[in-house]
Amino acid sequence: MISAFLIIWLSLNVIKKRRGNRISIGDGGIDELKTAMAAQSNAVEYIPIALLLLFALEYNQGNILIVHLLGIALITGRTVHAKGILSGQLPVRVLGMQVTIYTIMALAISNFAYLPYEKFFKL
């Protein structure tokens, strides 16, 4: 749910920039709008796969503490990344991206660890 609010906030930021510059489609060559659009599209690219992996981990009965910690890490990484893009602070943006990528990697690995292998391989 928090990730939805992050995407809504980023979307509203794009709408605000478009209205302010009277641009209905595209970026109109406005750097501020390009930046807002990049922040929004980046969130929309990474959040869905991470949420699917988070759901799978919970569904596979992964440790609830791990599920929550990785969820917090995802939201933290995406928020830091968005703030970094919008403020033009490259180190903040990179930190957000690193947290996001490491979280997705941890989710993928955790899902392998918690897969119900007995359902797939009858011994």
**Residue 123, domain member (yes or no):** no
Q: pTM score > 0.75 for this model?
A: yes
Flag whether 34 is in a domain.
yes
Provide the domain limits for residue 107: 2-115
pLDDT of the residue at 122: 67
Residue 121 lies in a domain: no
Structural domain contains residue 65: yes
Question: What distance in Å separates the CA atoms of residue 52 and residue 58, rounded to the nearest whole number?
Answer: 10
- Alpha carbon distances (Å) from 18 to 13, 34, 36, 79: 9, 10, 10, 22
Tokens of 112: 């392998």
Domain membership of residue 120 (yes or no) is: no
* 96 part of a folded domain: yes
**Secondary structure class of 98 (helix, strand, coil):** helix
**Does residue 74 fall inside a structural domain?**
yes
DSSP string, 28-68: TT-HHHHHHHHHHHHHHHHHHHHHHHHHHHHHTT--HHHHH
Residues 6+ apart with CB under 8 A from 64: 58
Predicted confidence pLDDT, tens digits, the chain (123 residues): 789 999 999 999 999 999 988 988 888 888 999 999 999 999 999 999 999 999 999 999 999 999 999 999 999 999 999 999 999 999 999 999 999 999 999 999 999 998 877 677 765
- If one counts the domains in the chain, the total is 1
Q: Would 27 be classed as within a structural domain?
A: yes
CATH code, domain carrying 54: 1.20.120.550
Cα gap 94→106, rounded to integer Å: 18
